[in-house]
Structure 1
């Protein structure tokens, strides 16, 4: 069975985690496949959005136990870095999704736990239905959510991240919305699909280059520690703005506005 179902529709590359018997737990082959497909999507000029979801009404129940057992065997055989490399490889996926030039939308149903929780937090837009249950169960298994923690803090703040990670707390979808873990809560799978299409329509109205630059600047802004760094960032932002407004997308956007028509990038 494919670990990823891959479909391109218009401006969106849809990647579905496809291990339903394991509630779409993320295995190392799945990580490798996701990274490969993300690279392909970023290289495709027509693609602006990466949609992540899980097969058969679960998003992702975390990491694959089989990989843990393999790492344990490798460690027993003398590979002292087996667990380090296993854990860090998943972190590479979160980093890539978080910093991708594409807009990443997570469509969440059912289990959103451990690594799935981290993947949801690395998305730009997270939408969910009422079936969702969110949890960071790692500490209950004697483990830290090592690669996940920075993305959870970035999404919900340190105070809520402490509560979730240090208590192994399970959240229902309404509370996830209340703390900002997700951005939109829908009543059913039908309204979930309609909401996804609404976001795709909104993104379709945005210029590809402007989207990528804006995401870059937002991520840079989140790392600002003092006003001097902010000044440098805004200098950099002004250069990007100048390049954009004088570039092909900026010119086309101005023409379309004046001519009261959709810009050429809107299909």
Structure 2
């Protein structure tokens, strides 16, 4: 089992194959400080090659997911002078961008459980989740322009998630939308009307994930990320080779055998599987 880093701003709880990562600054509505960015990056780095962790569940403590960036960190950066090619504002902003990239390309399935404020950087994290489940009371916004700044690191991921037309509307007007509108836009996949329903939806998602082969899931996620970034013929050529390797591989053999024997494959077995 991977040794997880000690964290002051995150609460970590591994339950079977799922790592529950909770943003844990409830007094600040889980605003994303530089310390939180660094700790989250360290967690994803630690589990990068851990096949025992199949998914990461992101959520926030105290009824909010994340209210955006930490104003105190921005104030501290303002007091520093840019020198020798270093710029405290740029470096602070880019550190979060690197985290978003890391979460986006993680081999694990990332599930975002979205409640309360989902703003700024929290909005960006939602956009790089593989599955987003939201309470109907959640509030989503890109408020940066109303504060005189720009959504520099999250904007490209918002465009990838919901398209340029809707990203323009939300970013340029600083609009706030509820869970149902977020679902209509394609930002989230499901909207639940109670905490119990949200928990049930999360449990169902993890149960579905466990039925899928871990290596095949990771390879599929990586393949999907390549679409639109390289020529289609070469992408399909490489995908065909990956398919052949998968069929001949351990998971392919086990999946085929399990299907023929009408039993769950080895990766889908849990403590209560007969």
Q: Are 1:82 and 2:88 matched, yes or no?
A: yes
TM-aligned CA deviation for residue 53 of structure 1:
0.3
Partner of 1:243: 245
Which TM-score applies when normalising by structure 2? 0.93
TM-aligned CA deviation for residue 70 of structure 1:
1.1
Contact 1:41 1:50 in 2 (8 A): no
Partner of 1:20: 26
Residues of 2 paired with 1:134 and 1:235: CA distance?
A: 40
Residues of 2 paired with 1:249 and 1:165: CA distance?
A: 43
- Cα distance change on mapping 1:240 and 1:76 into 2, 3 Å: closer
Q: Are 1:203 and 2:209 matched, yes or no?
A: yes
Residues of 2 paired with 1:153 and 1:250: CA distance?
A: 35
Which TM-score applies when normalising by structure 1? 0.96
- Cα distance change on mapping 1:80 and 1:37 into 2, 3 Å: closer
TM-aligned CA deviation for residue 77 of structure 1:
8.0
Contact 1:13 1:41 in 2 (8 A): no
What SS does structure 2 have at the residue aligned with 1:34? helix
Residue from 182, 191, 195 that aligns with 1:176: 182
What SS does structure 2 have at the residue aligned with 1:6? strand
Contact 2:82 2:88 in 1 (8 A): no
Partner of 2:36: 30
Partner of 1:3: 9
Residue from 150, 153, 178 that aligns with 1:147: 153
TM-aligned CA deviation for residue 158 of structure 1:
0.2
- Cα distance change on mapping 1:18 and 1:80 into 2, 3 Å: same
Structure 2: gaps spanning 5 or more residues:
1-6
TM-aligned CA deviation for residue 41 of structure 1:
2.3
Partner of 2:262: 260
Structure 1: gaps spanning 5 or more residues:
none
Contact 2:134 2:179 in 1 (8 A): yes
Residues of 2 paired with 1:54 and 1:223: CA distance?
A: 32
Q: Are 1:43 and 2:45 matched, yes or no?
A: no
Partner of 2:69: 63
Q: Which of the two has greater helix per residue? A: 1
CA RMSD in angstroms comes to 1.4
What SS does structure 1 have at the residue aligned with 2:243? helix
What is the number of equivalent residue pairs in this alignment? 263
Contact 2:26 2:62 in 1 (8 A): yes
TM-aligned CA deviation for residue 42 of structure 1:
2.4
Residues of 2 paired with 1:198 and 1:167: CA distance?
A: 36
